[in-house]
Structure 1
Amino acid sequence: MKPTINGAADKRGELKARNFPSAQQEAVKGAPPTRYDGPESSYRLAFTDTDFLLREDLRPVRMQLELLKPELVQQEQHIESTIVIFGSARIVPTDVAQRLVADAASANNETALRMAQTHLSMARYYDEARHFAQLVTQKSRELATPIYVVTGGGPGIMEAGNRGAYEVGGKSIGLNIVLPHEQAPNPYITPELCFQFHYFGLRKMHFLMRSIGLVCFPGGFGTLDELFEALTLIQTGKCRRRPVLLFGRDFWTRLINFDLLVETGMISPMDVELFRFVETAQEAWDVLEAHYGFSLREDAKGDLAGQL
C-alpha cells in the first residue's frame, strides 16, 4: 500500500470491502460433513440445491430467473435495440433444396421430388432472411444505437437470421426453447447471447422487450403464435406500435383472409395497417429506415427500443 503523508497505511480500500461473503464464495466452500452429503440430506444451500429449485412450488422463482437471466446478460452486453426474425424451422437454403431435388430425381422418387421442389420454392425465404440480417447488422453499425438480430435460435429461417449476422462479423441473439423433440441452437448465434427457455410466455416477452421491428417469414403454428401475440399486444395498446413486416404477400394472403376479418367485423379496417407486406431484404430494410430515419444523435441513444 502507498504510505499517506503521516506515514500511516492507506486503508481507504477497506471502505468498499464486502461486509459478507458473496453467494458464489459460499457456494464453492468445502464439501459438507460426510454424514450430510447424501442425496437425502437438506444440508445444501438453497440456491445450489437443484432438486429444491425444481420443486413444483418453486415455479414462480424459476419464472423470475428466466426473465432475469436474459435481461441482465443483454444489459451487460449493451443490447438496447433489436429486430426480431420469425419464421419456419423447416425452410432450407437454396443449395440444400437443390441437392434434395437432384437426389429425388436420381432416385426416381416422385413423392420425394414433389417435396423437394416445394422446399426449393420456399428456399428463397431462407436466402432473404440471411440477407436481411446482413443488412441490419452492417448498416446499424453506423447508428448511435446498434441494432441486433434476434431469432428463436433454431434451424430454418431462425438459422438464416443468425447466420447473416455472423457472416458480416456481428453479434446476434438466439432465444431457444426446450421442446420434446429437442431443438438444438443453430451454430451461428453469439455464444454469450444464446439462451434457453422453458416457458414459451417468457421467451415471447423477451422477443418484444427490446424490439424496434418484427419481420415475419412464412411459418407454421409457432410462427403464427408469435406473430398474432405481437399484433394483439400492439392492437390493444399493451405495447407500443412498431413496424411488423410480413415477407411474401402471396403466402400470407392465401393463409389468412384479412379481408374477411374486416368484412365480418372481427377486426377494424385500421387493424390491417398494423402490418405491411414486403418481398425482399432490401425492401424490408428500406421500410425500417424510412420509419425511424436512423439518424440518431449520440444523446438520443437508447430511444429506439422500449420495455413492454
Structure 2
Amino acid sequence: MDPHKELTARNFPSAEEEAGALQPPSLYGGPESAYRLAFTDTDFLLRPELRPVRMQLELLKPELVQQEQGIESTIVIFGSARIPPAEQATERLAQARASGDAAAIRRAETQLEMSRYYEEARRFAHLVTARSRRLTTPIFVSTGGGPGIMEAGNRGAFEAGGKSLGLNIVLPHEQAPNPYITPELCFQFHYFALRKMHFLMRSVALVCFPGGFGTLDELFETMTLMQTGKCRRRPILLFGKAFWSRLIDFDWLIETGMISPEDTGLFRYVETAEEAWHLLAEDYGLHADAQEDGLHAEDL
C-alpha cells in the first residue's frame, strides 16, 4: 500500500460499507427481528418518535445535493398546476365545441386564455437559463416540480439546455414530477414547511404566475417573511396585473389599515417574459453590457 495513503486511510468502516456487508444470522433475519442497523431499518425510521430525524434528513438531502451540483442562486417560479400548454388547451376547446356543452365550452375557452401564462413561464425560464449561464454564479430555475406552470418553468430551462430544480411534494392524489426537471435535482418532500424553506434558501427572485391556494400560500408566506424582516428582501414579480388585482384588493388592505402603503413595494406586476427579465437584470446588474459576475444568493 502507498504509505502516503495510509496516512489518510479511514480508521473505521463507513456506514455504507457496514450496511452492505451485514449478513444477519438466519435466526434474526426475519421482518420481526430488531437486529437490523438502525439507519437501515425503515420501519424504525418511520416511527412517529423519529419525526425530528426525518425532518433533519429532508432538510439535509436537498441542501447537500445542491452544494454538490454547484447550485448557489435560483429564481423560483410559482403558479397553478392547472394551467395547460396552448396546444393542449386548444385541443380541449375543440373537444368541448364538438360536444355542444355550453358550460364545457366556457371552461375550455378560459383555459385557452390562461394558457398564455404557461407560454410566458416557459419563455421566461428559457431567458433566465440562457442569459445567466455565463455568470460566475449562474441562476437556475426552481419550481414545485409538478404540471402546469411548474412544468412550463422546467421545460423552458430544459429547452435552453440548462439544469433546473423540481421540489415535488407527496399529496393524497398522486402527483408525479414533470419530465423536464434535471434528474439529479428532482426532490420529493413530505413536509410542506421544509419544501418552502428550500424554495427560499437560494432564491434571488420569486416569480408568481396565476394560481390557487398553493400559489397564494407560497406568495404570502414569502411576503410575510420579507415584510417582517425575517429574510432579506428580493424581487417578487406577479405575472398578469389583471388577474392579481382582481384576486387581491391591495388598496382595500391599505384603506382598512391592514397593511402599510409601502408594503405594496414588496412586489411588481409584469406581463411578459422579457419585461420580467429586464426588471431582474436592472436589479442585479445582469445586462449584457455589464460585468457578468452576478450576485450570490445568501442563505436564510
Shared fold (TM-score, shorter chain, > 0.5): yes
Deviation at 1:111, TM superposition (A): 1.8
For residues 72-87 of structure 1, the aligned pairs below 5 Å read: 72-87=64-79
Contact 1:88 1:156 in 2 (8 A): yes
**1:221 counterpart (213, 220, 223):** 213
For 1:63, the equivalent position in structure 2 comes to 55
For 1:277, the equivalent position in structure 2 comes to 269
For 2:239, the equivalent position in structure 1 comes to 247
Instruction: Give me the whole-angstrom Cα distance separating, in 2, the residues matched to 1:119 and 1:139.
Output: 30
Instruction: Give me the whole-angstrom Cα distance separating, in 1, the residues matched to 2:22 and 2:206.
Output: 49
Contact 1:88 1:220 in 2 (8 A): yes
For 2:281, the equivalent position in structure 1 comes to 289
Contact 1:144 1:296 in 2 (8 A): no
Deviation at 1:304, TM superposition (A): 2.4
Contact 2:144 2:168 in 1 (8 A): yes
* Counterpart code for 2:9: A
Structure whose CA Rg is larger = 1
Instruction: Give me the whole-angstrom Cα distance separating, in 2, the residues matched to 1:36 and 1:304.
Output: 52
Instruction: Give me the whole-angstrom Cα distance separating, in 2, the residues matched to 1:125 and 1:241.
Output: 25
Deviation at 1:30, TM superposition (A): 3.7
Instruction: Give me the whole-angstrom Cα distance separating, in 2, the residues matched to 1:148 and 1:38.
Output: 46
**2:106 counterpart (98, 114, 121):** 114
Deviation at 1:242, TM superposition (A): 0.3
**2:147 counterpart (152, 155, 160):** 155
**2:195 counterpart (193, 196, 203):** 203
Runs of 5+ in structure 1 lacking a partner? 2-9
Q: Deviations over 1:197-239 (max 9, x none)?
A: 0000000000000000000000000000000000000000000
TM-score, normalising length: structure 2? 0.97
Deviation at 1:297, TM superposition (A): 6.2
* Counterpart code for 1:261: L
Give me the CA root mean square deviation: 1.1
* Counterpart code for 1:277: Y
Residues 45 and 296 of structure 1, relative CA distance in 2, 3 Å threshold: farther
For residues 1-308 of structure 1, the aligned pairs below 5 Å read: 10-294=2-286, 295=290, 303-308=295-300
Instruction: Give me the whole-angstrom Cα distance separating, in 1, the residues matched to 2:297 and 2:31.
Output: 47
Q: Deviations over 1:81-129 (max 9, x none)?
A: 0000000000001111111111111121212111100100100000000
Runs of 4+ in 1 over 4 A off after TM superposition: 295-298
Instruction: Give me the whole-angstrom Cα distance separating, in 1, the residues matched to 2:40 and 2:134.
Output: 44
Deviation at 1:296, TM superposition (A): 5.2
Matched-pair identity in %: 72
Instruction: Give me the whole-angstrom Cα distance separating, in 2, the residues matched to 1:166 and 1:269.
Output: 40
TM-score, normalising length: structure 1? 0.95
Instruction: Give me the whole-angstrom Cα distance separating, in 2, the residues matched to 1:275 and 1:304.
Output: 21
Instruction: Give me the whole-angstrom Cα distance separating, in 2, the residues matched to 1:244 and 1:54.
Output: 37
* Counterpart code for 2:188: Q
Instruction: Give me the whole-angstrom Cα distance separating, in 1, the residues matched to 2:255 and 2:176.
Output: 43
Deviation at 1:70, TM superposition (A): 0.2
Instruction: Give me the whole-angstrom Cα distance separating, in 2, the residues matched to 1:296 and 1:61.
Output: 44
Q: Deviations over 1:252-275 (max 9, x none)?
A: 000000000111111001000000
Instruction: Give me the whole-angstrom Cα distance separating, in 2, the residues matched to 1:123 and 1:296.
Output: 36
